[in-house]
Amino acid sequence: MTVHDPILAAASRTRSAIPDDGALLRAAADLTRALSAANPAIYWPDMLGSAIVGWMALAVALIATSVLVALASALVAMLALYRAASFIHELTHIRKGALRGFRFAWNLLVGVPLMIPSFMYEGVHTQHHARTRYGTAEDPEYLPLALMKPWSLPLFIVVASLAPIGLILRFGVLTPLSVIAPPLRRVVREQLSALSINPAYRRRAPEGDFARMWFWQEAGACLVALTLVASVFAFGWKPLLVYMAVHSAMTVTNQLRTLVAHLWENEGEAMSVTAQYLDSVNVPPPGSLPELWAPVGLRYHALHHLLPSVPYHNLGAAHAQLIATLDAVSPYHHGNYTGMLPLVGKIARSTMVRR
């Protein structure tokens, strides 16, 4: 639903000038109190089932003699592993002690085998939600893509396709080298240890329990990277290439989702919560494709910026309640879109406007 509000439309040209909407924030606070409990009976089967289906489909793709069967299995593997990998986002928001053992299981089954252990996102993503950091130079997950040159968008996607190569180099080469070269270790920690899109972002050194968790997760990912390289000598190139193709397709899909998760129209100034919402994107039902390219609640990305502590399985109910209770001129209705292609077109057109 889209409601035309001339005042809001004018203000949206300068995102930082949009004030907070009291009714929207009160409604969001009420929903947070009512819907913030994570349900283990949903999290565990969803994550485990996605991981098991993904790895089994990848195995079929490796041994299949039919090209059609191999391609179909690789597609299933990509979609299932992508869904399983998307739980890294939930890990950053789950309250401590809410899902005991979930982080360890996810890293063991998904994060470490895909060389995206949770330390790469934990402690990073929460900065994207910081009231004074969102959309600024200190936000690790923000680039003003809509204000950049048109070639920035295809480059944004092409870079993602090279992720498996980059991860093998990062964990299989730079990790062991950085152990014996402290200056390199600092570079690896600051610039190559976060799933971020802001090239200016620098990560601080971990401390305490998190530092120990980081160590073991990085060691595991290093072992995976070295095993993948060694597999070429034992089994030829096929296993590595199939793994990398599935991983690359998964990462490109996620990068396309990232491209349309925001409108990317902020020029670096701090924004109100309402402005952050309006710079973000929901792709709610009735469309069904977003469940594939924006799984685990990511289709409600704008709503998530209002309700960051609400688990993914409650976001649909929260959206329906907000639509039903907020009046027609509420800013909430301006954050809802119909699909990926119209959003890509909108952002692409913005890059072509002379400034």
Q: Which of left, alpha, beta for 135 (phi over 0: left; psi -120 to 50: alpha)?
A: left
In a domain, 320, yes or no: yes
End-of-domain residue from the set 218, 238, 259 = 259
Tell me what the mean pLDDT of segment 183-212 comes to: 95
Query: How far apart are the C-alpha atoms of 315 and 296, rounded to whole Å?
Result: 10
- Sequence-distant (6+) residues with CB within 8 A of 116 are 85, 88, 110, 167, 195
| Pair 239, 106: CB distance under 8 Å | no
In a domain, 97, yes or no: yes
Average pLDDT, the chain: 92
Residue range of the domain that includes 28: 6-35+262-345
In a domain, 1, yes or no: no
Q: Which of 63, 134, 107, 110 is nearest to 216 (CA)?
A: 107
Asked if residue 44 and residue 18 are part of one domain, the reply reads no
Asked if residue 127 and residue 59 are part of one domain, the reply reads yes
Asked if residue 176 and residue 105 are part of one domain, the reply reads yes
Asked if residue 52 and residue 29 are part of one domain, the reply reads no
pLDDT tens digit sequence for 127-173: 999 888 999 999 999 999 999 999 999 999 999 999 999 999 999 99
In a domain, 133, yes or no: yes
Answer positive or negative: Cα dihedral of 204, 205, 208, 213: positive
Asked if residue 338 and residue 244 are part of one domain, the reply reads no
End-of-domain residue from the set 259, 281, 300 = 259
Asked if residue 79 and residue 23 are part of one domain, the reply reads no
In a domain, 204, yes or no: yes
| CA 66 vs CA 15, 57, 239, 331: distances in Å | 53, 14, 16, 52
pTM: 0.93
pLDDT tens digit sequence for 302-336: 999 999 999 999 999 999 999 999 998 999 999 99
Query: How far apart are the C-alpha atoms of 284 and 306, rounded to whole Å?
Result: 15
End-of-domain residue from the set 211, 241, 259 = 259
pLDDT tens digit sequence for 285-310: 998 999 999 999 999 999 999 999 99
DSSP 203: P
| Pair 148, 194: CB distance under 8 Å | no
In a domain, 351, yes or no: no
| Pair 31, 322: CB distance under 8 Å | yes
State the total domains in the chain: 2
Query: How far apart are the C-alpha atoms of 204 and 124, rounded to whole Å?
Result: 10
DSSP 62: H
Asked if residue 155 and residue 24 are part of one domain, the reply reads no
Asked if residue 292 and residue 167 are part of one domain, the reply reads no
